[in-house]
């Protein structure tokens, strides 16, 4: 059984897209070539990787196992390229971060800028994931440090407090809810919403919480960035949005939005730094440059970041 990197990338694309046609397009392969590769993989394994139906495909148990390990292998290849590239460009080290939407857009830029200024020969690669996927990535060794919500499944990880990260409802001036100071999601669920794309970490979190309450939020507009969402809400198109409080505070004056605190317990979020734990539950061994970044981020909270 020998799968090359093209095989692994193709299988992941098909698994995530749900059809061989869409997966082949994402992998930049002709449909016939992609189908031939998938069949050869199944023959080499001696077991089916995909269940094929009229509406698409889904992974078999063997396919799910392959998808899990393929992600790890491909991430490690990218890590290798990044670290070798860092050495080739004269850098001393490379640190990998996974973080959720709010950390990426609101809480990471300032401390990261200070760290990079103080460590000019260290490169940092930060990628956005949902909090649960951040935790999985840390456990699987796909990153050195994760930044996730404390409510995520952090079993087996060492956790260090980072920053409070509550969510607010934002509405335009003059909106019937603009005079409220607090509101539950259930009381705002009938509004028309603006939000981020479906695949963003924040939207996945909101959709999950709404489902748990038996709600389905109605989105009339989706934009790529929180700043654009807040600007659209402030322009008075009759839309509201749920965004991190840090973003709402930062954008309130320039966009004209009004903040209403969400009273739901899940909205009172805290972001934490997470790394693999040692046998005693403390942060485990990290590369020297990753340890320096972890200590910097952990101390940033006290520095007013």
pLDDT, residue 83, reads 66
In the chain (305 residues long), the average pLDDT of successive 10-residue segments reads 88 90 90 94 92 91 91 77 63 84 91 94 90 88 91 91 95 94 95 92 88 93 95 95 94 95 93 90 85 94 46
CATH topology assigned to domain 167-267: D-Maltodextrin-Binding Protein; domain 2 (3.40.190)
Give the pLDDT score at 68: 86
Burial of 251 (0-12, 13-18, 19+ CB in 10 A): buried
Domain 91-164+270-303 has CATH 3.40.50.1220: no
Q: What pLDDT, on a 0 to 100 scale, did the predictor assign at position 85?
A: 66
The whole-number pLDDT of residue 92 equals 64
Cα gap 163→285, rounded to integer Å = 23
Neighbours of 105 (CB within 10 A): 22
List the chain domain ranges.
Answer: 5-69, 91-164+270-303, 167-267
Give me the pLDDT at residue 302, please: 44
Question: In 73-96, which positions are buried (b, 16+ CB within 10 angstroms) versus exposed (e)?
Answer: eebeeebeebbeebeeeebebbbb
pLDDT of residue 281: 82
Sign of the Cα pseudo-torsion (276, 278, 282, 284, in order): negative
Helices (H), the chain: 5-17, 20-26, 31-45, 61-88, 101-102, 109-118, 131-139, 185-188, 201-212, 226-234, 245-255, 288-300
Fold: same for 5-69 and 91-164+270-303: no
CATH no. of 5-69:
1.10.10.10
Q: What is the pTM of this model?
A: 0.64
Q: What is the side-by-side strand order in the sheet with 182-183?
A: 182-183, 257-262, 167-172, 241-244
Q: Which two tokens stand for residue 47?
A: 């077991």
Q: pLDDT tens digit string along 89-105?
A: 555 678 999 999 889 98
Q: Give the rounded percent of residues in the chain with a pLDDT score beyond 70.
A: 94
Q: 143, 96 in Cβ contact below 8 A?
A: yes
Contact of 147 with 203, CB cutoff 8 Å: no
């Amino acid at each position: 059984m020998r799968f090359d990197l093209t095989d692994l990338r193709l299988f992941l694309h098909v698994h995530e897209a749900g059809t061989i046609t869409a997966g082949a397009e994402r992998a930049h392969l002709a449909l016939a070539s992609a189908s031939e590769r998938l069949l050869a993989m199944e023959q080499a394994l001696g077991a089916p990787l995909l269940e094929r139906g009229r509406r698409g495909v889904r992974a078999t148990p063997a396919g799910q196992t392959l998808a899990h390990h393929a992600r790890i292998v491909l991430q490690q290849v990218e890590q290798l390229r990044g670290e070798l590239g860092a050495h080739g460009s004269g850098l001393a080290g490379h640190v990998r971060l996974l973080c959720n939407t709010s950390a990426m857009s609101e809480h990471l830029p300032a401390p990261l800028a200070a760290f990079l200024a103080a460590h000019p020969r260290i490169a940092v690669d930060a990628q956005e994931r949902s909090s649960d996927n951040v935790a999985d990535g840390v456990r699987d060794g796909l990153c050195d440090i994760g930044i996730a919500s404390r409510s995520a499944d952090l079993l087996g990880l060492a956790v260090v407090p980072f920053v409070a990260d509550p969510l607010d409802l934002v509405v335009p001036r003059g909106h019937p809810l603009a005079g409220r100071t607090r509101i539950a999601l259930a009381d705002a669920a009938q509004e028309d919403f603006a939000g981020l794309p479906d695949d963003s970490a924040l939207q996945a979190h909101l959709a999950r919480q709404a489902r748990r309450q038996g709600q389905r939020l109605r989105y009339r507009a989706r934009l790529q960035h929180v700043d654009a969402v807040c600007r659209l809400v402030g322009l008075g198109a009759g839309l509201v949005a749920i965004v991190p409080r840090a973003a709402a505070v930062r954008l309130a004056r320039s966009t004209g939005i009004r903040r209403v605190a969400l009273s739901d317990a899940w909205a009172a979020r805290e972001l934490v730094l997470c790394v693999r734990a040692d046998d005693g539950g403390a942060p485990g061994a990290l590369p020297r440059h990753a340890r320096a970044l972890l200590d910097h981020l952990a101390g940033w909270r006290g520095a007013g970041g």
